[in-house]
Amino acid sequence: MTKAAQIPGAITHAADSPPTPPPSPAPTSDDETYDICIVGGGPGGLATLSAAIEPYSKDKMGRDNVKNAYASGLATKRTAPKVCVVDPGDTWMHTWHERFKALQIKWLRSPMGAHPDAFDVNSLLAYATSTGRAHDMFDSGVDVKKFRTVREAHSGLLELPSNKLFEDFCQDLAARLPHTFVRGKVAAIQGPDGDFSVSLEGGRKLKAKAVVLALGVPGPAACPAELVKVPARFLFHSDDKLGGRLQELGSARKKEVLVIGGGLTAVQVAQLAVKKGCSKVFLASRRPLVTRHFDVGEGWFDTRQGSRNQSEFFDEPLEKRAAAAKAARGGGSVPPLYMRGVQELETQGRLSRKVGEVQVTSVNDDSVEVTINGRVQKFDLIVNACGHRPDCLQLPVLRELQRVEPIEIVGGFPSLTPDLQWGSFKQLFVIGALASLQVGPDAGNLMGLSRAAQMATDAMDINSFSKYKNSNQSVQGWYQTNRFAEAFDSDSDSDSDSDTDSDSDGEIEIERAVEIPCAA
Ligand SMILES: Cc1cc2nc3c(=O)[nH]c(=O)nc-3n(C[C@H](O)[C@H](O)[C@H](O)COP(=O)(O)OP(=O)(O)OC[C@H]3O[C@@H](n4cnc5c(N)ncnc54)[C@H](O)[C@@H]3O)c2cc1C
């Protein structure tokens, strides 16, 4: 693979790249013209880069077709598209890295089979093995008998990668895929379709034939109504400054902490507060915590059942899909590993769990007084760990797009085409949590991202798998018909049975969300 192209003001993904100063305006030139512009340098952006650059996906082809692909020289004949990735961070996975660091998360919730390499579901496992990192894999006690994809379970694909392993893998993957990394924040995308102008804050403009928006969260922080009037000195969202404010936990005046939320992030914040020496830590949720390995049920992992679930999901009218996705995620859940930790801390008297309504009764100079189930408690700090509220038009890029090319918004999510396009723009795609209505309950996690990235790049018709298919009718295109029909076909090649679903952290936790912005 060639190295990433160097353009003025752009940085490559090399691990030793020095920090880049903030972006400065630069004129558009041929150097700034791309086949594909990916907006967002998280796992979704990386999955898109991988799907765009790889000549084909081994996972999406049967065993015979992989042989045909090699035999036809598919991989070597293809000219890779020219791709740029735009992100405000100084390198790939900046947002992910900061979040995981702030919460001191050691293990991913999702398994080894979930990662952004579009070529091969086994890539992360192979990376761990080839770099002698078996100690970076954790058997979290998933009952493999419950998974009909037992072959995968036994091969380690259901074990959890450490975050260090996962981040190293992503950096390694990015370094192998030619692209240009542009540091900046996209302010607007303008047409015409197929000849987009991507405007960055600061005035710089890029040109691209296709654009993929991999922006991450589907809207602003969710804020329980009862917290709206709490001043920012006593309250922050767990994702505020990408978790930066979590540093306040345990500091001299922040010893008594209330964490609100019913998903994994809330548990991680509560555990962090204990670890940082807070003398009183309460974890309050409206409903009891639900224990579950992954944030979608095990049925979503089974190849056939998962495909059936997907199929049923797409049979629902759009209006019902947001609720169906939420139901499939169980409204936020906590893996057994973390539940055991919570129970231990409770037994030691270092953490109290409360189920019920929280009412803020008064805000004092140095504390907030709240009532939980009728009992008054004082806290120095409240951490809102209720995830993000789907409200895509709060994101400036989408608000601007909606102005020029209005589409239906359902439950806060954009109503994209089945190929994840925005309205009549055939070359403008949205992936990630924002694409929940078209991708399914796992849209915001690593498995859903990979699927979406593949869908978008397939629809661009830039990958040679499609070219190969067009020139030689012998290749079976799984995506040309019902994407999920293959799994119901008893003759289907088991090699392509890799469409496992996994968890997210409950990124979209709307348990207590209301339509009002936080005062904090
Ligand atoms: C604490 C935590 C733990 C999680 N653990 C897991 C896990 O173990 N497994 C799992 O599958 N999922 C997990 N998730 C869900 C996780 O967020 C997603 O899997 C993953 O980060 C989503 O990737 P993404 O690329 O869609 O979004 P992000 O990782 O959020 O990346 C989006 C990027 O787009 C950039 N961006 C946004 N707007 C613009 C713009 N206008 N211009 C340029 N760039 C822009 C952002 O700065 C960001 O860097 C976790 C989430 C949290 C909060």
Residues lower than pLDDT 50 in the chain: 1-27, 150, 466-520
Residue 107 DSSP class? B
Query: Which residues neighbour 217 within 8 Å (Cβ) at sequence distance 6 or greater?
Result: 239, 388, 433, 444, 507, 508
Q: How far is the CA of 209 from the centre of ligand 1 (A)?
A: 25
The amino acid that residue 168 corresponds to is D
Is the distance from the beta carbon of residue 210 to the nearest atom of ligand 1 less than 6 Å? no
pTM for this prediction: 0.85
Query: Which residues neighbour 390 within 8 Å (Cβ) at sequence distance 6 or greater?
Result: 218, 219, 322, 411, 412, 413, 433, 436, 508, 510
Q: Which residue has the tokens 């990124």?
A: 507
Q: How many CB atoms lie within 10 A of CB 207?
A: 16
- pLDDT at residue 105, rounded to an integer: 97
Rounded distance between C-alpha atoms, residue 444 and residue 96, angstroms: 13
Contact indicator for 262, 287 with CB cutoff of 8 Å = yes
- pLDDT at residue 121, rounded to an integer: 87
pLDDT digits (tens, 9 = 90+) for 276-323: 999 999 999 999 999 988 888 777 766 677 778 888 888 889 989 988
- pLDDT at residue 219, rounded to an integer: 96
Whose alpha carbon is nearest atom 38 of ligand 1?
Answer: 215
What radius of gyration do the chain's Cα atoms show?
A: 23
At 444, is the secondary structure helix, strand, or coil? Answer: coil
Is the distance from the beta carbon of residue 445 to the nearest atom of ligand 1 less than 6 Å? yes
- pLDDT at residue 307, rounded to an integer: 78
Contact indicator for 489, 478 with CB cutoff of 8 Å = no
- pLDDT at residue 250, rounded to an integer: 84
Residue 9 DSSP class? T
The preferred substitution site among 503, 507, 508, 509 for testing ligand 1, maximizing ligand atoms within 8 Å of CB, is: 507
Q: Which residue has the tokens 């392993």?
A: 165
Q: How far is the CA of 330 from the centre of ligand 1 (A)?
A: 20
The preferred substitution site among 101, 384, 394, 446 for testing ligand 1, maximizing ligand atoms within 8 Å of CB, is: 446
Rounded distance between C-alpha atoms, residue 96 and residue 214, angstroms: 13
